[in-house]
Structure 1
Amino acid sequence: MSRDKEEVKRLSTHGQLIEKPADVIKNPYILEFTGLEECKAFSEHDLETALIDKIEHFLLELGKGFLFESRQKRFSFENRHFYVDLIFYNRLLRCYTIIDLKIGDLKHQDLGQMQMYVNYFDRYVKLDEENPTVGILLCLSKSDELVELTLPKDSNIYASEYQLYLPSKEELKKQLEDAQREWEAHHDKEIPDSN
């Protein structure tokens, strides 16, 4: 029933091909395996520790090709020290993937900080034959408009929300209904009325 029959045929033959960072970045990530309570206050350090304690589960949630390198990786310049929360390497994309954890709303300053991290890795860490570094800001909530206005269009930085628990059946049903209404509204705008 798909309109893009060639793409469906390609997927059935080869599965999902991972060719660019957007092919592996999820939104949202489900971090239920951490055991953190949704209503309890926790710090970014608590979240980071829970993820590292369950690194196998986190790697599975991240998706294909991710290899863990380090946590709280320090880099320095001009006598200032910066710490990147989590560093991964994706062997399929052949690039470093930096993850910065945020326990609240994403702010434009967070995006700027991640841009600095990505620039540093691209200039001083990655090898010439490796692809550009990918940055993922893992946050509790984000504004797509803020991300779009802050980052250049060709940016290799992604903001993804995380959920500590899957939504209830009722919440999931409501989300699906909302998405269906949004899709129909968008679809109706694209197809002019033939009358």
Structure 2
Amino acid sequence: MNNIDRKNFHSQVVDLLKSARNKVVRSVNQTMVITYFEIGRMIVDKEQDGKERAAYGENVIKNLSKVLSVEFGKGFSERNIEQMRQFYLAYSIPQTLSAVFNSGNPSENSENKMIILSWSHYLKLMRIEDLNERNFYEIESYKNNWSLRQLQRQFDSALYTRLVLRRNKAKVNELSEKGLIIEKPIDAIKDPYILEFIGLREHTIYSENELEQEIIDKLEHFLLELGNGFTFVARQKRISFDEKHFRIDLVFYNRLLKCFVLIDLKIGELKHQDLGQMQMYVNYYDREIKLNDENKTIGIVLCRDKSESVVEYTLPENNEQIFASKYETVLPSKEDLKSLINYK
């Protein structure tokens, strides 16, 4: 066996073991979630048999905690068992439309709805009071295989709120039923983008080159913020014509929209020239780079500040290719987000 064959063989064995371990982890998670759901159901059923439900329920949990702790050790404190009870109460009535996506159809069995995420995910999801918001994060966690840390980050950056503020009522309902569906360019655009991960504080002085470098250094985080379907293509992509040279800050490709996405970074106020320059980049890509079976290129000018009037009067009314979005380098509150977007 030569070196190449040996490396391929080793790689195949490693991949097989990783796949097996992932299946074991998923199986353990599913079993744990279903078990905790069932424990919660049994506690609630027991409570309903008591005349004084509140006091009786406390005793049920306290006594059960003592028995389980003796039998199984750590992990069955009164607080943990109360969380199982809350879990059942939160999900016993079909309140979530997240389904086992492999089948393509929502299951009527509430337990089947819950085996797609870990217990840690559901501990976080249970604390989201708005039912539509909870459904959205549950669906997106599953679809995008978010870790608990990624789920927490998306919640902290108010992803759901940012998407809701750009949609009508029908589209808001779709978010809670199906998650984020990208069918046209506007669906992939956020405003603002939250770039707290780059580590540049709100009033820090930095250049566009430094901003770009921080994004590249934390590209995985930036792709998470961009959303579904984005892959990185190039930075400082040079295009040339008539002996003139131009550089596009960042180039991505979106597999769902089947098009290139060009991003220009502006650390100051958006000017109409910035939009005109992006229009030139987009036109060049459409005429010289994209293939016949690909869709029209999208351009995003990512700026620190923008005037909606400048955007409105610079771009054509039927514009579906050029977008201007703010970016924030700190995590704003939901109230701040509403004022940032001038929500009414």
TM range (shorter): 0.7 to 0.9
Seen in structure 2, the aligned counterparts of structure 1 residues 19 and 105 have a Cα distance that, compared at 3 Å, is: same
Identity of aligned residues (%): 56
The offset of 1:130, in angstroms, is: 0.4
Paired residue for 2:212?
Answer: 48
Give CA deviations for 1:123-154 in whole Å, capped at 9, x if unaligned. Answer: 00000110000000000010111101001122
Q: Secondary structure at the match of 1:130?
A: coil
Partner amino acid, structure 1, of 2:328: Q
Q: Give 1:14-163 correspondences, 5 Å limit.
A: 14-155=178-319, 156-163=321-328
Q: Structure 1 pair 54/20, CA: closer, same or farther in 2 (3 Å)?
A: same
Measure the CA separation in 2 of the matches of 1:158 and 1:6. 20
What residue identity is the alignment partner of 1:86?
A: L
Q: What RMSD over aligned residues (CA atoms) do the two structures have, in Å?
A: 2.3
Report the residue type matching 1:116 in the other structure: M
1:161-192 superposed Cα distances (whole Å, 9 cap, x missing partner):
0000013x5xx54665x69x963xxxxxxxxx
Q: Give 5+ residue unaligned stretches, structure 1.
A: 184-195
Q: Secondary structure at the match of 1:33?
A: helix
TM-score using structure 1 length:
0.83
Structure 1 counterpart of 2:263, which letter? I
| TM-score (norm: length of structure 2) | 0.48
- Structure with more strand by fraction: 1
Of the two, which has the highest radius of gyration? Answer: 2
Higher RCO structure (Cα 8 Å, ≥6 apart): 1
Task: Say which SS state the counterpart of residue 19 (structure 1) adopts.
Answer: coil
Q: Which residue of 2 aligns with 1:164?
A: 329
Match of 1:191 in 2: none
CA distance in 2, matches of 1:175, 1:60: 19
Distance 1:174 1:7, change over 3 A: closer
Q: Distance in 1 between matches of 2:205 and 2:270?
A: 17
Letter in 2 for 1:166: L
Q: Distance in 2 between matches of 1:175 and 1:11?
A: 18
Q: Give the whole-Å Cα distance in 1 for the aligned partners of 2:217 and 2:265.
A: 15
Counterpart of 2:299, as a letter, is G
Seen in structure 2, the aligned counterparts of structure 1 residues 157 and 78 have a Cα distance that, compared at 3 Å, is same
Matches of 2:196 and 2:241, distance apart in 1: 37
Rounded to whole Å, the distance in 2 between the matches of 1:63 and 1:69 is 15
CA distance 1:11–1:141, shift in 2 (3 Å) = closer
Gaps of 5+ in 2: 1-131, 133-167
Change (3 A) 1:4 1:160: closer
Write the distance in 2 (CA, Å) between the matches of 1:82 and 1:182.
36
* Partner SS for 1:89: strand
